[in-house]
Amino acid sequence: MQSRTLVINALVAALYFVVTAVVAPFGFLGIQFRISELFNHLIVLNKKYFFGIVVGVFLANLVFSPTKADIIFGVLHTALSLGITMYIARFVKNKIALMWINTAVFSINMYIIAYMLIFFADVPDAFGVLWLSLGISEFVTMGVAIYIMYFLNKRLNLEKLI
């Protein structure tokens, strides 16, 4: 990995962590408002952002999550979702369409987080409700983030930055 790529990924991880810290009281509930999820769209712009996003999720969950199982399940959710989007990106070249697909992938895969909450929060009868609420909150957050990332990319050329 080139030093520029390493530094940019470290910055992405740090930004993910800091933005998560700002919304931490609301970012780990059944309905999550985690604006730091906007960084997940970086994978659409360049696959080299993968490690920065995953490390950011790991660090944020390590420090802020009320259940440390989120370190494993949150990273799994993120890595799996990013991997699926990277695969789909081989076939879909339109960045906005791919960001919407990325949003759908992350939202659908919230079953991983719902399962974690059911298992570690001991509320076995609420899986469907949790998956739905987590999926909807992820979809709304990442849906709004599409436009933020689109304009940030126009201004900062994030595709070529790394």
For the cut 90, the answer to whether the pLDDT of residue 8 exceeds it is yes
The pTM (predicted TM-score) of the whole model is: 0.92
Local structure of residue 31 (DSSP, 8 states) = S
Domain containing 15 equals: 3-161
Residue 63: half-sphere exposure toward Cβ, Cα within 13 Å:
16
Phi, psi of 65 (to 5 degrees): -70, 135
For the cut 70, the answer to whether the pLDDT of residue 1 exceeds it is no
Number of structural domains, the chain?
A: 1
pLDDT attached to residue 23: 80
The answer to whether the CB of 99 falls within 8 A of the CB of 149 is yes
Return d(Cα 160, Cα 69) in angstroms, integer: 35
Burial class from Cβ neighbours inside 10 Å (0-12, 13-18, 19+) for residue 159 reads middle
pLDDT attached to residue 31: 57
Residue with tokens 């079953």, as numbered in its chain:
111
Say which CATH number the domain at 45 has: 1.10.1760
The per-residue pLDDT for range 75-97, each reduced to its tens digit, is 999 999 999 999 999 999 999 99
The answer to whether the CB of 90 falls within 8 A of the CB of 44 is no
The model's confidence at residue 33, banded by pLDDT at 50, 70 and 90, is: confident
What length is written for the chain?
Answer: 162
The per-residue pLDDT for range 115-141, each reduced to its tens digit, is 998 888 777 778 899 899 999 999 999
Return d(Cα 3, Cα 20) in angstroms, integer: 26
The pLDDT mean for the chain works out to: 91
